[in-house]
Structure formats: C-alpha cells, structure tokens
Amino acid sequence: LNFLSSRMSSATIMGRLPVDVVAEGITERKLAALHQVDTLNLMLYTILMIMTVLTIWIFKHRRLRFVHETGLTLIYGLIVGLIIKLCTNGNSSGAITADVQLWNTTANVDSPPDFLRLSVPYYDGISKENQSILLRYKFDSNVNVFKEGLLEEKATFDSEIFFNILLPPIIFNAGYSLKKGHFFRNIGSILMYAVCGTSLSVVVVGLVMYGFTSLVRLPFSLSETFLFGAVISATDPITVLAIFNDLKVDSDLFALVFGESALNDAVAIVLSQTIERHSPSPGSEALLFDGRALLNSFGHFFGVFFGSMGIGSLVGCLASLFMKFTKISQYPLLEATLFILMSYLSFLISEAAHMTGIVSVLFCGICQAHYTFNNLSSDSKMRTKQFFEVLTFLSENFIFTYIGVSLFTSQAHLFNIWFILGAFIAIFIGRLIMIYPLTAILNVGRRPPIPMKHQHMLFFAGLRGAMAFALAIRNTSSPQMRIIYSTTSLIVIFTVLFNGGLTVQIIEWLKIRCGDQSSPELDQVCLLGYSLF
C-alpha cells in the first residue's frame, strides 16, 4: 500500500538541532522536491499539448488526413512515456523507503487507514534518550508494484481527476453542441443503438470473454467479464466525427454516429456501476445474477439513469428561467460565468445524490442548448460556445496524451496476451451484433431506411476513447482489474490510430455522400412528418 511507504532524505535523520527544527527542515526539503517534480510534470504535459496544437495546425494547413489529431496526441504521449520510462528506470531519485508495520497487532483493521502517524527516531547527541519526529502520511491508493522513480510516479494522475475535472466539460459540450434538428429526427434510431445496442454489446462481450477466459484458464468471474463489457462498450468516435465535419458527410449518418456516442457514454457508465454494485463479493459462490438480483439491477439502472437525467434537465431548465426573468444579461461576464457554474453544478448534485454526474451533465447540456441558449445575450452565446469548445479540446487531447504516457509509466498495468486477444475478438463480435441486427429491425419502420454503406460506417466508427479509459482506470485494485485497465488502454490506442487513420479511405471506398449543405434552419424547427425511427 502506498501509505505504508515513506520517503525522506538520508541526511534528515542526523544532526544536533532541536527536534522541531529538524522536522521543519524535513518538511521544507520534501515539499520543495515534490514541488519541483510537480512543476516538471505539468511543464512536460504543457509542452506536449503545445506540440500537438502546432502539429495539428501543420496537418490542417497541408491538408494531411492520414492521421488525426487524437492519433498525433497519442503518438506524442507514447514517445514521451517511453523516454520517461528509460530515463527513470532504476533511478530512485535519491529517496529511501521505510517499511512500516502496525505495532498494535491486536487492532482489527479491515481497511487501509486514512492517515498514518510515523514516528522517526532522532538522536540529538546530547540527551541520553532518543527523541522522535512525528509525521503524518495520508492514504493515497493501492500500489501493486512499488517503484521509487518519483517523476515516473508523478506522471500518473488520480483517476478522480478524469471523472470530476476532465470528463464533465467533454460530455456537457456533446449535449450543448448538439444539432437538434438532425438529432431529434433520428432519435428513435439513436436510442436503439445507444440503449439497446450498448446493453446488447455488454452482454455479448461479457459472455464471449467469459467463455474465452475459461478456455485459456484465466481466473475471471462472469461479473468481471461483464464489467469489462460495460467498460469497453463506451465508444468515442471523436476522430471519425471530426473528419465527418470536415468532409460534410451525410447529415443523418453524422447524427447517428454522434448521437449514439453521446448517449452511449451515459449508458455505459450506469451499466458499469450497476454491475459493480450487484456483483457477488470476492470468494462468494453465488452466480452473477439470480432472479432477485436481476430485478434489482434493472431497477438500479433505470433509477440511476432517469434520476440523473432528471437532475440535469431540472438544473438546465432552472438556469433557463433565471436567465429569462432576470436582467443579468446586462452583465455578460456574470451571465456567462453563472451559466458555466450551473452547468457544472448539475454534475456535482448528481454525484452527491449517488446518481451519475456524467448523465446529468449531458442532459443539462441538451437543455441548456435548447432553452437557456436562446435567453442569453449575444456576448454570452459566443463566450459559452467558445469556452466549452476550447475546454473540450484541451481535455480530450490531455486525456489522449495521458493514455500514451501512462502506457509506460503507470504502475497499475498488467498485460495478458490471451486476454488482449480475446478482447479484440469480443468487441468485434459485439459491434457486429449491435449494428446489423438492430439496423434490420429499425429499417422495418424507418423511412428512409439506413443504407448498408451507412451500416458499415457505423460498425467502423466504434472507436474506444476517453470514457472507456476513465472507467477502466477507476479501479485497479485486483490483478483482474489491472488486466482490464491495460487491455482497455491498448484497445483505445489501436482503434484511435487504426480506425481513425483509415476513416477517409473507408468513406471513399463506401462512396458515402459528402458535401452535405443542410440548411442551418433545420436545427431551429420542429421536424414533423418524419418517421419516429
């Protein structure tokens, strides 16, 4: 455990100074060293982001499309992660490790302590009795393989940063930048893919992986393979959508890919939480779901999903009413600031209520775009749109940079070639069963039907990205979860580089219509007369 390891300079335990002076010196030197490493770490990521932006500009200027910006970000992250790995290999940064054990062996400690009082012996050379310096160490996380490379360790972040800081603006912007006309015209198909399709994918991937791991004798339970199915079913076709936008691909195809990915993230995170909550305890002989557990799981899923959706929609509507019936629009800076804070508040309220903040912030973004946006001043409309576009761009590229860096620096990685092979087979089968049979059902009542070339593109657009990685990194407490985390990272890297790099060629090969100049007024009207699907 990380809290059982302490680092301090070998020179701090010696000397003839009063104990409080020694303690102050230890603290100052340690804080200065940590500050320097933190600064170096942030500088490293900032330089990576600058390099990414400049390279993206060069690619756009030269009209190069063989690799997308997310692929470039991943490649830069992989290179820097490898450099950190090679430079810090075997380098302990001059630190020593003190192995600490609980002296009170009769105490019943069923979970790691939150704080650790560490008594360090100190002899001042004058008094006959030894003195001690009392230090406090805070619990951080489980450590699977302890390493002393400080830069390598600091290059990885707490998983909560992804869920609480980086993901909310990405998900909110997905709802806020929604093209309402195309989205609601295809709402039936989008819901079919996002809800039924994602659920079907989870089941298929979970069952295939359970059979495969049983065949190769890997110790995975059915609940763990189902959890992997929920994690890896979160799609993130940011690369494909960016190319769609540049080429002005058919608006209905764009809406289907975008809508499925937006709602799919919400469904995947609720499904993963439901499976974790209703999984049998370790060592239990119970099946994953008996009849009662199955009903409880369905109830939990729908309760959390619709509860989170209600919170996000309510906050969005309240923001709209406030903007409409007050004169805060006279102060655009305050108006835009309030808009941003209330949007983030929907995420925090949902998390505090034991719901899912990602779902809330998505539907808050949809409501803000549909209602609040029309009540904003022209300055605030421009500011909020640009703010979330920039924030989303930075967050997404930081996450993909981190995925590349962490592949070499994360202590939680545990690779298993058989599980990786089975995972690629499982997600291929899951995506296949998700797209083609469901589309056949949709086409029975949909006018016009989804053409086969669009179905092929939907199948190809199932990239994995930020959400799948964030779900996987959140729990690495067991060898099975470490394997899931490592496999998810590899799948994200492969699909972003391979699928993203071939998107333009696939569009040309399928002869998908480009240059769609749909009327912008389409998003502002209620589309009547179209099929529900």
Q: Is the CATH number 1.10.4160 carried by domain 159-279+377-524?
A: no
The rounded percent of the chain whose pLDDT value lies above 90 is 34
User: What three-state secondary structure class fits 524?
Assistant: helix
For the stretch 31-77, pLDDT in tens is: 777 778 778 888 888 998 899 899 888 887 887 766 777 888 899 99
For the stretch 133-175, pLDDT in tens is: 666 666 655 555 545 455 556 566 667 888 889 889 988 998 8
Residue 330, burial from CB neighbour count under 10 angstroms (0-12, 13-18, 19+):
exposed
The closest alpha carbon to 359, from 238, 463, 263, 473, belongs to: 263
Asked if residues 141 and 2 have their Cβ atoms less than 8 Å apart, the reply is: yes
pLDDT at res. 156:
67
Q: Average the pLDDT over 316-344 and give the result.
A: 93
Residue 373 has pLDDT above 90, yes or no: yes
Tell me the three-class secondary structure of 363-400, residue by residue.
HHHHHHHHCHHHHCCHHHHHHHHHHHHHHHHHHHHHHH
User: What three-state secondary structure class fits 525?
Assistant: coil
Structural tokens at position 453? 């070339």
> Number of H helices and number of E strands within the chain?
19, 4
Query: How many C-alpha atoms does 147 have within 13 Å on its Cβ side?
Result: 21
Residue 453 has pLDDT above 50, yes or no: yes
Strand positions, DSSP E, 88-235: 96-99, 115-122, 131-138
pLDDT at res. 89:
62
Asked if residues 333 and 142 have their Cβ atoms less than 8 Å apart, the reply is: no
Band (97; pLDDT cuts 50, 70, 90): low
Global confidence as pTM:
0.81
With b for 16 or more beta-carbon neighbours within 10 A and e for fewer, the 474-502 pattern comes to: bbbeeebbbbbbbbbbbbbbebbbebbee
Residue 273 has pLDDT above 50, yes or no: yes
For the stretch 74-85, pLDDT in tens is: 999 999 888 888
**In this structure, are strands 96-99 and 131-138 parallel, antiparallel, or unpaired?**
unpaired
Structural tokens at position 364? 């808050």
Q: Which of left, alpha, beta for 93 (phi over 0: left; psi -120 to 50: alpha)?
A: left
The closest alpha carbon to 484, from 420, 408, 399, 401, belongs to: 420
DSSP for residue 64: -
Question: Domain residues of the chain, as ranges?
Answer: 2-154, 159-279+377-524
The closest alpha carbon to 380, from 331, 345, 418, 430, belongs to: 331
For the stretch 392-428, pLDDT in tens is: 999 988 988 888 888 888 888 899 999 999 999 999 9
Band (14; pLDDT cuts 50, 70, 90): very low
CA distance between the termini of the chain: 52
Q: Average the pLDDT over 381-392 and give the result.
A: 94
Dihedral sign computed on CA atoms, order 64, 65, 67, 71: positive
CA separation for the pair 256, 262 (Å, rounded): 10
